[in-house]
Amino acid sequence: MLLQAKEPLRKMLSAATGYYGGLVQSYSLSAYGLRHSLSTSMKASRHFIPCKARSLSQFSCGGSSADQEIVIAMGSNVGDRVSTFDRALQMMKSSGVNITRHACLYETAPAYVTDQPRFLNSAIRGTTRLGPYELLKKLKEIEKDIGRTGGIRYGPRPIDLDILLYGNSQIHSETLIVPHERIHERPFVLAPLVDLLGTSCDDGIETSWHSFSKCSGGFFELWNKLGGESIIGTQGIKRVLPVGNHLLNWCERTLIMGILNLTPDSFSDGGKFQQVEAAISQVKLLISQGADIIDIGAQSTRPFAKRLSPKEEFERLIPILDEITKIPEIEGKLLSVDTFYAEVAAEAVKRGVHMINDVSGGQLDPGILKVAAELGVPYVIMHMRGDPSTMQSEKNLQYGDVCKEVASELYTQVREAELSGIPLWRIVLDPGIGFSKKSGDNIEVIAGLESIRREMGKMSIGASHVPILLGPSRKSFLREICDRANPVDLDAATVVAVTIGILNGANIVRVHNAGYCADAAKVCDALHKRRRWEN
């Protein structure tokens, strides 16, 4: 039986490798056999053996006796599409759907009827005790409440909610077909669906789902047949990050986040920008140098820094933030607040900030997760063990495989954020350069961003695709390598670190000197475009 399991498993992993465009490396089959028991291998083989579907007669219009894993597709091309998705998520939760995972957000060209606005598409994975027909009824009610009317088939609509998968069931009736009959031909459905899967072969329900694809490589193979990752970023389908009034295509070019520290004790420029005039001047300089985002922080997070109260941080931040939002140069730029306090984040967003950058990823003030979910803004989750006063302790500096452990710990935080109501399409990941890491660890992380994405993909394909923010600017590991005492003298070294990071998959770089790093990013982006063209 173990030998019989190997060939389907090989096909599955091969398909996953192709899906990632080479990002996921094939596992050694012999190593896999050593790591897994016979029972696990037998379980893996069932990915590609059609399972016995639950019969239609087992379902009524009433509820299910047990939680069922489900996948629901979402689409919208009329009105405020992002707000519509937010409303649909809340209404699904209120209707008996426990949302556990979100796919990325995709802007896609219309299919079938092409003379209409572009769509936003995504999907959610969750559990419900609603029976399939009861679930269908609830989804139709949500569509109607949001404003969907009859219209033409495949035509414009404010919301479209489809049951893609329901437990391990296959249903075929006049009113409901599960799995959805057109999954195989729709990139805008398959891309979000694949996001909700992992490359691990140990998930029982995913075993059933892959078998429904009728492909030996499961849904990964179906996605590859439609073009897979090679079509992402084309006019047909793009991953986007909703921020402010924009849908940001973070893969189109690297974004530059300029740092504004309003603290007296930051390691690089503490005390320089505590006065309004100096802060405004620095913001204007960063924007003139090419900054797309201004990240404003009023609390130092250097090693062993004393923690301010929310009130103290608020008093330092708000007067300067209010003035920054008034300057003409800020028009069209994004503002980020660097805080781990829920109440500071809420007030900053109220006053015009577009995103929250939390160095603790919700660990220092768990209330910030709920606030970020309610505010509907992008949320940066950074990797750090402990807090700034303990992050460089001997215990927090212990790693076996730093990239693997950073990925695993970040994913734990992603799960907490999603379960708190922050969709994956609003999450940005930061591996935390200089936080809970020795010099060598920082180098490994910068060079190993693709490895971090691969590890993420084993747990959630979607999580492996979210934007990565990298912040190596003037950090102490560069000072140790270059033997320079003045942080300003580390700008050249920062450019090198940023360049390596971008070439390995960073999408946003957080820097003090935006000019040098913006130029480096342009060169890296040009190299990326050449590689895509060659492929």
- 180, 208, 238 — which closes off a domain? 238
Q: Do 301 and 425 have their domain in common?
A: yes
The residues near 348 (Cβ < 8 Å, ≥ 6 apart) are 296, 317, 318, 321, 337, 339, 356
- 238, 261, 284 — which closes off a domain? 238
Average pLDDT rounded to a whole number, residues 226-240: 95
Question: What's the pLDDT at 264?
Answer: 80
Contact 458, 452 (CB under 8 A): no
Which residue has tokens 């056999």? 33
Higher pLDDT, 407 or 10: 407
Whichever domain contains 317, its CATH number is: 3.20.20.20
In which domain, by residue range, is 441 found? 253-534
What are the start-end ranges of the E strands in 64-211?
Answer: 68-76, 97-102, 106-108, 119-128, 160-166, 171-172, 177-178
- 387-399 tens-digit pLDDT: 988 999 999 999 9
Identity of the residue numbered 188: F
- Phi and psi for 383 in degrees, rounded to 5? -85, 125
Whichever domain contains 225, its CATH number is: 3.30.70.560
The answer, yes or no, to whether the previous bond of 467 is cis (omega within 30 of 0) is no
- 238, 261, 292 — which closes off a domain? 238
Question: What's the pLDDT at 534?
Answer: 73
Query: Is residue 481 over pLDDT 50?
Result: yes
Neighbours of 464 (CB within 10 A): 25
Q: How many folded domains does the chain comprise?
A: 2
In whole angstroms, what is the distance from residue 406 CA to residue 426 CA? 20
Query: Is residue 73 over pLDDT 90?
Result: yes
Cα end-to-end span (Å), the chain: 39
> What is the share, in percent, of the chain residues with pLDDT greater than 70?
86
Q: Is 304 exposed, middle or buried (0-12, 13-18, 19+ CB in 10 A)?
A: exposed
Query: Is residue 361 over pLDDT 60?
Result: yes
Q: Do 346 and 372 have their domain in common?
A: yes
Q: How many contiguous H segments (helices) and E segments (strands) does the chain have?
A: 18, 18
Catalytic residues, by residue number, are 475, 510
Q: Do 221 and 266 have their domain in common?
A: no
